[in-house]
């Protein structure tokens, strides 16, 4: 079939809208009509050329929601008409990683996914007979996409696509990092570096679990009001604070119990570790840093009990946890609506990237 898609032809260039060819689903695969997709900073990161796994031409996008249109042979858990959220972190429930119960990082198809291919090592997208690569196993910047069955979470049918698409990455990454990865307890002091589409969801998660102080750090003063609305109790702007680490240590009587880096800046990652409490502070890296970047600190920081950790997709097991997070939204337990600051047709997707780069949007969502 033909489908409209935004194609990334090369690093650093705007996407162009094309009518591309899409092959039907093969064994274990599903054809999905994408109804809405968010634009995440990670899409920009890959488009910028900083992602060592970035390959072109590709159809980016990993924060979508849609409807199953067709299923390939061997598919047993989904059928035509089901509502789904594509998962860049699949959940096969059979690999060593899934069975360990220690991680959400299913590895069954990670090799081919990272090469922009379906599990049989081929692409379903092409134009003029030349293949176009998939992205993160999801490629939601296409009106129709093919994804493996294990990369789709079935969700309730009354959930609005234009809101719950954000659960495909940002909401789950932020709230999940608090609940699933860090398991922040009530009364803890939490610091969030970067108050964008991810960091504001960390704040929302920290408020949900009953954190005490929730300190937000951002260079953009315009982020303060929204962050306060979501539960931030203190705001620090590094532009006007001489020593951010000292300021946090003073505010928290010795350091934060938990910190979350939601920027992808390795200097900030160091601050995020060093502002946590001696003996037990835990710092969770969420931000994605460019190829070649490295983190550093005095090992003494770790010897004296701080822990440096990371979180991908909020530690969520997609097929199990994403439907629950959709329920939380539908029950009014989490706020997604106010974080979606802009919507646009696919034709305006480059404007969506520009809004994000200028810090004017929290989440821009493309509506098909
Ligand atoms: P965003 O652009 O919406 O937000 C980033 C925020 O950081 C902005 O508010 C910006 O003003 C602020 N900022 C930038 N530099 C800063 C600095 N030096 N000090 C303080 N604040 C600074 O991006 P996002 O969509 O929220 O994504 C944030 C990061 O998380 C990105 O690196 C993205 O790739 C990554 N990410 C990771 C996962 C994961 O699973 N680990 C999932 C989604 C996104
Ligand atoms: N390809 C990048 C890695 C990018 C990365 O860390 N991705 C996160 C999700 S970001 C979503 O917005 C992730 O889940 N990573 C785990 C994984 O297996 O990719 C690089 O730097 O190589
Ligand atoms: Zn993302």
| 245-273 average pLDDT score | 98
Q: Measured from the CB, is residue 46 less than 6 Å from ligand 2?
A: no
Give the pairing type, strands 29-39 and 16-22: unpaired
Cα 70 → chain centroid: 26
Looking at the CA of residue 44, tell me the nearest atom of ligand 1. Answer: 34
**Active-site entry in 41, 124, 134, 306:** 41
Q: Does residue 92 carry a catalytic annotation?
A: yes
Q: What is the pLDDT of residue 311?
A: 98
Mean pLDDT on 124-137: 98
pLDDT of residue 202: 98
Residue 51 CB–ligand 2 contact under 6 Å:
yes
Q: pLDDT at position 283, please?
A: 99
Give the pLDDT score at 13.
98
Catalytic residue among 40, 165, 262, 275: 40
| 108 CB near ligand 2 (under 6 Å) | no
For residues 199 and 193, is the Cβ–Cβ distance under 8 A?
yes
Nearest CA to ligand 2 atom 13: 312
Contact 192, 222 (CB under 8 A): no
Q: Is the pTM of this model over 0.95?
A: yes
Which pLDDT tens digit goes with each residue over 310-345?
999 999 999 999 999 999 999 999 999 999 999 999
Output the pLDDT for position 245. 98
Q: What percentage of residues in the chain have a pLDDT greater than 70?
A: 100
The verdict on whether 41 is a catalytic residue reads: yes
User: What gap in Å lies between CA 351 and CA 357, rounded to an integer?
Assistant: 10
d(CA 251, CA 247): 6
pLDDT mean over 37-50: 97
Residue 147 phi/psi, 5-degree rounding, is -140, 150
Alpha carbons 221 and 255: distance in angstroms, whole number? 23
For residue 148, what pLDDT is reported? 98
Distance 243 CA to ligand 3 centre (A): 30
Q: Which distant-in-sequence residues (6+ apart) come within 8 Å of 182 by Cβ?
A: 258, 260, 282, 284, 309, 311
DSSP for 63-80? Answer: -EEEEEEEE-TT--S--T
Q: Write down the pLDDT at residue 326.
A: 98
Is there an atom of ligand 1 within 6 Å of 218 CB?
yes
Average pLDDT of 139-164? 98
- The yes-or-no answer on residue 165 being catalytic is no
Q: Say what the pLDDT of residue 232 is.
A: 98
Structure confidence at residue 173 (pLDDT): 98
Neighbours of ion ligand 3 (CB under 5 A): 40, 42, 169
* Residue ID of nearest Cα to ligand 1 atom 1: 196
**Chain-wide mean pLDDT for the chain?**
98
For residue 106, which ligand has an atom nearest its CA? 2
Which residue among 90, 288, 293 is best mutated to probe the pocket of ligand 2, counting the most ligand atoms within 8 A of its Cβ? 288
Q: Does residue 208 line the site of ligand 2, with CB under 6 A?
A: no
Q: How confident is the model at residue 1, as a pLDDT?
A: 98
From 3, 42, 145, 276, the catalytic residue: 42
Pocket of ligand 2 contains residue 89 by CB under 6 Å? yes
Give the residue carrying structure tokens 């909401």: 171
Asked if residue 221 has its Cβ within 6 Å of ligand 2, the reply is: no
| 134 catalytic residue (yes or no) | no
**pLDDT value, residue 248:** 98
Q: Summarize the confidence of residues 7-18 as an average pLDDT.
A: 98
Distance between CA atoms of 289 and 162, rounded to whole angstroms? 29
- How many Å apart are CA 238 and CA 253, to the nearest integer? 20
């Amino acid at each position: 079939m033909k489908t409209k898609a935004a194609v990334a032809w090369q690093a650093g260039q705007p996407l162009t809208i094309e009518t591309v060819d899409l092959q039907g689903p093969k064994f274990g695969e599903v054809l999905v009509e994408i109804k809405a997709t968010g634009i995440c900073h990670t899409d920009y990161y890959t488009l910028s050329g900083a992602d060592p796994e970035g390959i072109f031409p590709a159809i980016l996008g990993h924060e979508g929601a849609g409807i199953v249109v067709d299923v390939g042979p061997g598919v047993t858990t989904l059928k035509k008409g089901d509502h789904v959220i594509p998962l860049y972190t699949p959940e096969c429930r059979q690999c060593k990683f899934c069975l360990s119960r220690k991680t959400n990082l299913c590895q069954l198809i990670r090799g081919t996914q990272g090469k922009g291919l379906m599990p049989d090592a081929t692409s379903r997208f092409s134009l003029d007979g030349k293949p176009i690569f998939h992205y993160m196993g999801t490629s939601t910047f296409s009106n129709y996409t093919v994804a493996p069955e294990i990369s789709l979470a079935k969700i309730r049918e009354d959930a609005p696509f234009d809101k719950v698409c954000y659960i495909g990455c940002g909401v789950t990454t932020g709230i999940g990092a608090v609940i699933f990865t860090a398991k922040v307890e009530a009364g803890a002091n939490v610091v969030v570096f970067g108050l964008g589409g991810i960091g504001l969801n960390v704040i929302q998660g920290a408020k949900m679990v009953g954190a005490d102080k929730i300190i937000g750090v951002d260079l953009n003063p315009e982020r303060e009001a929204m962050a306060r609305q979501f539960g931030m109790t203190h705001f620090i702007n590094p532009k006007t604070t001489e020593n951010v680490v000292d300021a946090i240590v003073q505010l928290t009587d010795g350091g934060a119990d938990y910190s979350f880096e939601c920027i992808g800046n390795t200097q900030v990652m160091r601050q995020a570790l060093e502002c946590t409490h001696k003996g037990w502070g835990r710092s969770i890296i969420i931000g994605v840093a460019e190829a070649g970047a490295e983190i550093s600190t005095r090992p003494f920081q770790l010897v004296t009990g701080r822990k440096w950790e990371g979180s991908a997709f909020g530690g969520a097991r997609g097929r199990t946890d994403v439907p629950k997070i959709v329920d939380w939204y539908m029950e009014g337990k989490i706020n997604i609506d106010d974080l979606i600051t802009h919507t646009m047709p696919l034709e305006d997707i480059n404007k969506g990237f520009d809004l994000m780069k200028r810090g004017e949007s929290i989440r821009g969502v493309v509506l098909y």
